[in-house]
Each structure stands twice: as C-alpha cells, then as structure tokens.
Amino acid sequence: MATNLYAQSTFETVVPREPVISGESFRIQYVVKNATKVEQFKAPTIKNFRIVSGPDIYKGSVVGKNGLEYMTNIIFTLVALEEGRYLVGGATARIDGGLKKSNDAFINVTTKEAKSLSGKNVEIDSFPSDFNVGTDENVMEKIRRNLFLRVSVNKKTSFVGEPVVAEFKLYSRLESRSEIIKNPGFYGFGVHDIIGLGDKVSTTEMIDGKPFDVHTVRKVQLYALQPGNFTIDAMELDNRVAFNMQNLEKNNQEIVENMYGDQLNMGKDDFIETFEMALRTPPVEIKIKPLPTEGVTPNFNGAVGKFNITGKIDKDNLQKNQEGKLVITIRGAGNISQIGAPQVKWPVELENFEPAAQENFDRHQVPLVGTKTFEFPFVGNKPGDYIIPPVEFTFYNINRGRYETIQTLPFSIKITNERFGGAFSEANKNPGNKTSPGTLQNWLLVISGLVLLSLLVFFLFKRKKSIPAVREPAAETHLSIADILKPAKETMERNDPVFYNKLKDATWIYLSDRLGITGSNQNKEILKSTMEEKGADPVLINDILELLKQCELHIYTGAASTNDETFLFSQVETFMYKCDRLLDQA
C-alpha cells in the first residue's frame, strides 16, 4: 500500500522501436502504471493504419524497483497500409480522477524487401528468461506453467441470429514452435473470421505478474442457424519447445525418454534440446434460444440486429418486354449474411423473377456491419402506369427486445406502347402487309409454342393418372436440393469468399431436412451412425465426411480456387441426389 500512496502514476504510448513492415500486423500499447482507477479512455484517431483488433484491455502487476506496480495495458493491433513515417497521437484517460494524455510517438513503416536489404536482422526475446532449465526444475511441469492454449466466448447463451464471439489464444514464455493439427468445428453456425489463421496477431499480457507473449490463433463471430444446444469443438496444437539444459544435473533430470526430438542449432550446441507437447482447448457448450413469437409478422425472415431499408427502380420508364430492376438495399448491423430477400407485392401485370443478392460487410466488427442488396428483375407486356407498394422488412431488435418493421417508399413504373427491340414497329408502319417475314415468323413462334404447351399438358396429365393417389412426392414434404444449394451457387458465381461457408451450411441444412440431424447432433460421428442406420453404402458415407472436411479446410486455411469451388459444389450436389435415391428406396 505504501508504494501506491507515494508512487506517481504514468501514462505512456509504446510503439515498436524498429520499422514495421507494410501489410503485416503489429501492436501499439497505452500503458498506465501505479493507478488505482482508469476510466474514460479515449484513443486518438489512427490514420494510415488499419485496425485489426482493439482496444484490448489487460490489467496486472509487476515487481519493479519500488516494489509492486499495478499496470493497465490498452492494446491496439494494427496493419500499416504503406511505407513512410507516421505520427500516432497520444490517448487521453481519466486516471485516479485527473485527466491525462500519453505522449505522441512516431512509427516507421518499410517494406519486407527494403528491410531485408538493410542488413538488419532484429530478434526480440530470442532466448527469454524461461529458456534455461534450473537444476531442480521438472521440464514438463515448466512447459505446462509457461505454455498453454485457451478458448473464450463472450456469451454461452444467445438468440438465433445473435453473434457469439469465440477467441483462441496461445500463451507462451518459452522458445516454441506451434502447428495447428485440428481446427475447431462450428457446426450449426455461420462463421465469420475476425482474426484468421494467417493474420499473425500477437500481444503481451500479464499473468500472475509475468509477461506472456499471446498469439491470437483465431477469433470468430458465430451466428446460429437454429435454436438448440451446440458445441464448439476443441482446437489442437502440436508444440516443439527448446530449452538450454546446461544447468541441469544429469541425475536430477525427469525427462520422459521419447518426449524430445533432435537438437536445434540455436547457438548453445549440445545443451539445447527440444520437447514436444500437444495442447488442446476444452469443448464449449453454447445454448441458442429461439426468438420470441410475440410480435412476429408473416414477412419476418430471420434478420436480427438494427437495420434500415432503401429502394429504387433502375429505370422507371420502360418499353413492353424491356427488363427493369427493382433494387432493394438493407443496411445496418446484425446477421447480414443470413438475411433473405424481402417480399415484394408485384402488380399482376408485371412478371417478376428470382432476385440476385450481393452482400458487403466488415467482418472485423461485431455484429457484422454493412449492406445486402437484392436486385429483382421484372418485365411488363401491357402498357400503363403501375405502382409497386412499399417493400416492408421486419427484423428483431436485440437491444430493444422487440420486432420492428421498416419500409421503402412506393415505386412508380411506366410501360410504354413501344415494344423493346422494335419487334412490332415494322408491322405498325405497314398494316396492309399481312405476310411480312417478321409477322409470319411471330405467328409461327406462337403456333409452335401452343403445340408444345398442349403436348406438355397431355403428358403431365397422363403421368399423373399413372401415379397412385396415396403416394405423395417427396418434393412436397422436403426442401428442394436446388433451393438448399441456391445461396452457395450464388456466391460461387460471383467468386464470393464466403462460398465454402455457404456450401457447408447447405450440406447441414440438407442433412437436417432429410435425416433430422439438428442442434448439437450436427457432428460427423452422429452423421456417420445415422447414415449407417439408413443402410447407406460406406462409400457414400465416406464421401460426405470428406466433403465436409474439404469445406472446413478451405474455410480455415483460405486455400481456394475457382476449380475447387466448381468441383466441390458438383460433388455436394451429387451426394444429395444419391442420398435422396437411397431414402426413396428405404
């Protein structure tokens, strides 16, 4: 207590002393020491850098020259956009009741090529203090205390469509090399990476008065597709740890014989040995609650968050049979990727088609912030003035705990008497010419169409009579394969990076619809046993397990190409049709 009474608090901006590399992540820190209360922290406007994460606030204590010092560390992880010398302003905070500002600092940004040519080879903490093994230390116990993997979630109970943030961190005070041998499965969730496997984000945290290098292996936001109890699978790392064994007496070593491998050439010759240890996070149970039924409207399609809606007609004066587009844009924060197309009340004279969707959001913000745009094509063959009523959109506002409905303005459309492309223009100019080539071709097309339509009706009627009335087609009781795969197909056609997420989601939607595998049962073990009970061929079972594995591989590693997408989509589609045939025979 005496230390806290007399030690003066400090507020410091800490940036890398060496140049950082453009395109690679690094961290800046605002460090408060010897303060009992830190509040109203306000970061400066950070220009010329992209914020990857932060502010992340960590509290701890260290033993300094004057005894125990309390510390608050506020960390931002940034990426430099281009080389140069940039000023990072100080932050402000109210510290122990007084308003203080930390110092400004400069950051030098260079390129990887320029740094390699400079001849400098900077190594920070190449051999940290826990690199040496003392004479009375147990090596494996030392590893367990100074190297561990943790998973954290911001909540364990959530609503459908409300984000759950899961973060996997590796803590180390050792000289180690780690390799991911198993990524966690997020079955039942739509997944969006905030920090991916290739981002290489690291910070420093104080634990029990000791600084740890903390590597954020992965940070994701998850959106449940349906209510139920779900499990976030374990992440597993394989670690190789190097120690200097010079001080360890041979007769005191407690080393399992096959737990270490070849020596690493780190400048300590025969005294450096490596040890292997696997780290694994525990599975995390997440309970997903259904949204309330009170106040829900028929046009609600699963949107959760806070949104607004706008719309426009790309061209409000059209010729007959000329295609127009109604463009509806939904903006806001929430489960944007899961939003379906709103309903449009079309005038009967306008023929409309399935909309195309395009989404654009910031994956680093929780919940997702951005837009989703739907383009509804339509044509009109009857001249006149038409009104499309306001388009309504209903979402569940988590913060207010209620459903809210918003709408656009109405849309006016005029269809002129001219035919798009001028197909009838010559006939109008020459009404006496009844046998003109254009008119004759049009009549032939009409007659051919009527003949084909008559044949189609005849065969459909004949086929319907041959089917027993007691048997209902499977398509009337199940989602169609085309509808299930539609979101994945749309993202594939526009080379959207979320394709593999959509394809994996489509696969589980199909399995839920056909086999009843829902909630926390959506895992590969239950899938395998369920298909075996249905009498599926082992090859078919292996196919779907491998397809899910390939989707996860692309999602977690980012290894993707157009050929991969087309091939994998066709394989999933083929599996679904094979599985349908199996179920029809059962």
Write out pLDDT tens, residues 199-233.
778 888 888 888 888 889 999 999 998 899 999 98
- Residue 451: which pLDDT band, with cuts at 50, 70 and 90? low
Buried b (16+ CB within 10 A) or exposed e, 332-351: bbbbbbbbebbebeeeeebe
Beta bridge partners of residue 177, listed in sequence order? 240
pLDDT at 18 over 80: no
Within 13 Å of residue 522, how many CA atoms lie on the same side as its CB? Answer: 29
pLDDT at 473 over 60: no
pLDDT at 519 over 90: no
Tokens of 490: 């749309």
CATH classification (class only), 474-585 = mainly alpha
In this prediction the pTM is 0.51
Q: What is the pLDDT of residue 223?
A: 94
Are residues 225 and 372 in contact, defined by beta-carbon separation less than 8 angstroms? no
Buried b (16+ CB within 10 A) or exposed e, 69-89: bbbbbbbbbbbbeebeebebb
CA distances from 35 to 64, 70, 91 (A): 14, 7, 16
Of 9 and 147, the structure prediction assigns the larger pLDDT to 147
* Closest CA relative to residue 428, chosen from 442, 415, 410: 442
Q: What is the mean pLDDT of residues 491-515?
A: 85
Rounded CA gap, 424 and 510, in Å?
Answer: 48
Who's near 172: CB < 8 A, 6+ residues apart? Answer: 146, 147, 212, 213, 214, 215
Q: What is the mean pLDDT of residues 253-263?
A: 34
Rounded CA gap, 104 and 106, in Å?
Answer: 7
pLDDT at 254 over 60: no
Rounded CA gap, 541 and 537, in Å?
Answer: 7
Angle between helices 524-533 and 499-515 in degrees, nearest 10: 40
Are residues 492 and 569 in contact, defined by beta-carbon separation less than 8 angstroms? yes
Rounded CA gap, 47 and 40, in Å?
Answer: 21
Q: What is the pLDDT of residue 66?
A: 55
Rounded CA gap, 127 and 106, in Å?
Answer: 28
Long-range contacts of 420-429 (CB under 8 A, 24+ apart): 420/318, 420/319, 420/320, 420/321, 420/322, 421/321
Q: Does domain 303-422 have CATH number 1.10.3450?
A: no
Rounded CA gap, 83 and 49, in Å?
Answer: 11
Highest mean pLDDT among 59-68, 200-209, 279-288, 556-565: 279-288
Q: What is the pLDDT of residue 520?
A: 64
Q: Does domain 2-117 have CATH number 3.40.50.12780?
A: no
Are residues 191 and 172 in contact, defined by beta-carbon separation less than 8 angstroms? no
Q: What is the pLDDT of residue 526?
A: 86
Highest mean pLDDT among 115-119, 167-171, 207-211, 497-501: 167-171
Rounded CA gap, 12 and 6, in Å?
Answer: 19
Three-state DSSP state, 387: strand
pLDDT at 192 over 80: yes
Residues 146-160: tens digit of each pLDDT: 999 999 999 999 999
Are residues 307 and 395 in contact, defined by beta-carbon separation less than 8 angstroms? yes
Tokens of 221: 């936001």
Mean pLDDT score of the chain: 78
Q: What is the mean pLDDT of residues 290-319?
A: 92
- Residue 558: which pLDDT band, with cuts at 50, 70 and 90? low
Rounded CA gap, 224 and 516, in Å?
Answer: 17
Rounded CA gap, 539 and 557, in Å?
Answer: 26
pLDDT at 128 over 70: no
Are residues 492 and 566 in contact, defined by beta-carbon separation less than 8 angstroms? yes
Lowest mean pLDDT among 246-250, 282-286, 432-436, 505-509: 432-436
Q: How many C-beta neighbours within 10 Å does residue 234 have? A: 18
- Residue 586: which pLDDT band, with cuts at 50, 70 and 90? low
Q: What is the mean pLDDT of residues 505-512?
A: 89
Q: How many C-beta neighbours within 10 Å does residue 19 have? A: 20
Q: What is the pLDDT of residue 118?
A: 43
Residues 353-389: tens digit of each pLDDT: 989 999 898 888 999 999 999 999 999 999 999 999 9
- Residue 117: which pLDDT band, with cuts at 50, 70 and 90? very low
Q: Give the DSSP H or E segment for 543.
A: helix 538-557
Residues 424-442: tens digit of each pLDDT: 333 333 333 333 444 444 5
pLDDT at 125 over 60: no
Within 13 Å of residue 319, how many CA atoms lie on the same side as its CB? Answer: 9
Q: How many C-beta neighbours within 10 Å does residue 176 have? A: 19
pLDDT at 463 over 70: no
